[in-house]
A and B are shown apart, each in its own frame.
Chain A
C-alpha cells in the first residue's frame, strides 16, 4: 500500500512539474498576476509530493518490505536500521529519487524565499526548474522506477554492499547531490535572464547566494567522499583521479569560477555574458557528473551499474538540456552588454585571471576524463588515463592560481598597480621562501614547492584580513573593534582562500608519506617513519552482521608508547564478502594508518602501515573553505534590502567581454 502511494505521489510530481514548466515559461507573457503566483505554489507542491514519495521509499526500507525490488536487492532483514534507511539511496533507482527530491527542494526554496525577485523573473526561473525536473522525473518513472514490485517477495533481502555500510555513505550522497543540483538555480537564473534579455548587478546579487550554497555543499560533498574513500578502501589514498571523482571536481571548478565572476557582475556590471555561460556550464557539468557515470559511458571502479536503455534515455536528456540552453545562449547572448571598464591590473583583472585558470584546469580534467570513452567509441581502443596524467597536466596550472591568490585580493577595483600589492604580501613571500628552503634542503622538492605555496596562500589570506582591520597601524584594540565592522563577505572570502591554502598544505604533505607492506607474526615488529610497529595479537571479534579478525598493534617511538591501533578484517555473512576496516589515528598534523589485509597459514598477518604527514589538513582545509562560504552567505546584504533592478536599457548591439 505505502509503496503504491509513493509511486502515485511520484507520478503526481511529474504532472505538477509539467504544469510548473508551462505556467512558469509562458505565464509571464499573459501578464496575469494570478498565473504568475501559481508558479511558486506549484514548485512547493511538487516538493511535497516528492517528499511523500521519498518517505514512502524510506518506510519500505525501514519495515523491510521485500515486495519492493529496490528494498529486496539492497537491504536485508539482518541489516541494521540505520543502513536500511541509508540503503534506499545507496543504489541507482533510489539515488535518482533523491536527486529529483533535491531538485524540487531547490524550486521550493526559490518559491518560498524568493520574494525579493521580480515575479516574472521568478516565474521563469521556476519554469526552467520545472522543465528540468519534469525530464528527470519522466526518466525516474519510465526506466528507473524505485517502486518496482516483485512477487513472490524473497524471504531475506540481498543486503547492502558491505563497503557501503558506513556512516560516510549516509551523508556523502545527499550532500554531494545538494551541491550538484543546487547549481540548477544558477542555471535557471541564467536561462531566465537570457529569455528576458537582461543581466544587471541585481542579477549577480540574486545568483551569488544560490551559487554559494551549492558550492558549500559540493565542497563538503567532495571532502566527505574523499575522506570516505581514504578510510574505507584502505589504500591510504584520498584522490584517485577516477572518472567519478573528476566529474564531481568539474562543476566545483567552474562553480568556483562562477562565484568569482558573479562578484564582478554584482560590483562592476562586467563579465555578464561570461557569468551566464559559466552558470550554464556548471549545471551542465553537474548533470554530466550525475549521469555520465550512470549511462555506462564512463568506466569507473566505483559506479552504479545501469542498463543500456537507461543510458540512452540519459544521453538524450543531457543533450536536450545542455544543447537547448547553449542554443538559447548563442541566440540571446549578444543582447547582454557590458558597462564596467577596468584596467588589466585591477581586482576585476585578478578575478578574470582566476576564471581563466580555473576554466583551463576544468578543460584539462574534462579532456582527461572524456578522452578514453571518445577513443573507445571512435577507434575501438581501450585506454585509460591515470593519475600521472593529471599530476603532470593539472598541477602546473594550479601554480599560477596559487601565486595570484594572495595578491589578487590586495588589488583595488578598476585600476591598480602590482608594486604596492606585492609590498603588502612580503611577509608571506618570506615565509614561503623559508619553508621552501627547509624542505628543499631535505631534497623533497615537490613537497617544498607545494608547502611553500600553501604557506603563501594562507599568510596572504591572513594579511588580507590584517589590512582590513589596519593591524599594527592602529592600536590593537581598535583593530579588534574593526574586525566586527568589516563585511562578512570579505571575511568569508579570506577564510575560503585560507582553507584552500590548508588543502594545498595537506596535499603537499602527502607527498612526504611513507608506507610499508609487511607480514608480521604476533610479537614481531617493523620500523617505519621513525616509529616501531609491533603486532601484539590477532583475535576474533563479532559485529551486528559480520564476524571479524582484529589485530592489536602497539606503536612506540624511542621505547615510549605512542598509540595502540586495532585494524580489522570483516566478513559479512549475508553477502559472503570480506572488507578491511583500517585503523587511523590522527594528532591533527599527521595520520597513522594501519590496514590488516590478510592472514597466512602460519598465523602471520599481512599489514600495510602508513605515516601521512599533514593528511588531516586536506579535509580540514575543505571544511574551512565551506565555513568561509557559510560566513560569506551570512553577509547582511544578502539578507536585508531588496536589490534594486536597473532600468531596462534598449538592447545594445555591441558584444561584451
Chain B
C-alpha cells in the first residue's frame, strides 16, 4: 500500500506521459494533414504548388458540366466559380446525388502539374436544409456576388464569371 503522495506522483507521471504522447502525435498529424480552403479567386492569386492538397470551394458554373467515361470509369469536368475567377475541375468517380449546376460545392484535391486544372479526389455537396456550404458563402461574399442578408442566392443560370457590374447591367437591361 502506498501513501497518497506517491500515488499522486504516479498519476501525474502517467497523465504527463499520456498527454505529451498525444500532443506529439497531434503536432505530427497537424503538419501532414491540414488542408486549406481556397476560393477560385485565391487560387488565381496564390498559385498553390501542384500536388499540394487543398479544398476548392465555390459554385458549379452553369453550362460547364461535361460527363464522360475514361477507361470504363466515369469522369466529370466542370468549372468552379466565385464570380471573380473560375477554375476547371476534373473528377473521376461518382458525384454526390445533390451535385448540380449553380450549387455550392467543396472539392478536395490538388492542382495538376503544368496546366491550370484542379484534380479533385472528393466532391462534397451539402445536404442540409440550405444548400450553401459556409466557406463557399464566405467566398461569395468576399467576391461581392451574394450576401445572404439580402435574400436567397441568385438563379443558377447567372453563376458564371461575370462581374457584379455586368450582372447588374443584365438585370437592368
Contacts and interface: CB of A to CB of B under 8 A. Distances in A.
B2 A343 contact: yes
B77 interface: no
Contacts of A385: 30, 33-34
Contact of A415 (B1, B10, B133, B138): B1
Contact of B127 (A163, A357, A388): A163
B14 A388 contact: no
A195 interface: no
B173 interface: no
Contacts of B97: 163, 234, 569, 577-580
Given A393-B25, A657-B11, A305 B34 contact: no
A334 interface: no
A638 interface: no
B74 A388 contact: no
A360 interface: yes
B113 interface: no
Most buried by B among A303, A393, A569, A608: A393
A296 interface: yes
B52 interface: no
A393 B26 contact: yes
Contact of B128 (A304, A361, A363, A364): A304
Contacts of A635: none
Interface in A386-417: 386, 388-390, 392-393, 396-397, 414-415
Interface string B33-75: 1111100000000000000000100000000000111001110
Contacts of B35: 383-384, 386
Contacts of B74: 517-519, 597-598, 600, 606
A344 interface: yes
A296 B21 CA distance: 32
Nearest to A520: B72
A604 interface: yes
A363 B1 contact: no
A360 B33 contact: no
B25 A397 contact: yes
A91 interface: yes
B4 to A, nearest CB: 7
A455 to B, nearest CB: 25
Contacts of A296: 134
Nearest to A375: B34
A302 interface: yes
Contacts of A597: 74, 94-95
Contacts of B4: 341
Contact of B73 (A74, A397, A415, A519): A519
A449 interface: no
Contacts of A305: 128-130
A538 to B, nearest CB: 15
B26 A367 contact: yes
Contact of A356 (B14, B67, B94, B108): B14
Nearest to A580: B97
B124 interface: yes
B28 interface: yes
A352 interface: yes
A342 B8 CA distance: 11
Given A343-B2, A600-B69, A161 B127 contact: yes
A552 interface: no
Contacts of A389: 26, 29-30, 33-34
In this complex, the member of A371, A382, A600, A657 whose beta carbon has the largest number of chain B beta carbons within 10 angstroms is A382
A236 to B, nearest CB: 10
Interface in B75-131: 92-98, 106, 108, 124, 126-130
B94 A364 contact: no
A382 B34 CA distance: 10
Nearest to B92: A517
Given A299-B135, A364-B25, A518-B73, A343 B1 contact: yes
Interface string A332-360: 00000000011110000000110011001
A46 interface: no
Given A364-B26, A389-B29, A393-B28, 17 more contacts: A301-B127, A360-B18, A360-B19, A361-B22, A364-B22, A383-B36, A393-B25, A396-B21, A517-B73, A580-B97, A597-B74, A597-B95, A598-B74, A600-B67, A606-B74, A608-B93, A657-B8
12 contacts: A296-B134, A301-B128, A344-B2, A352-B11, A371-B30, A385-B33, A385-B34, A517-B73, A517-B93, A519-B69, A578-B98, A600-B69
Q: Which 8 A-B pairs have the closest CB atoms?
A: A597-B94, A382-B37, A388-B33, A392-B29, A305-B130, A393-B29, A606-B74, A389-B33
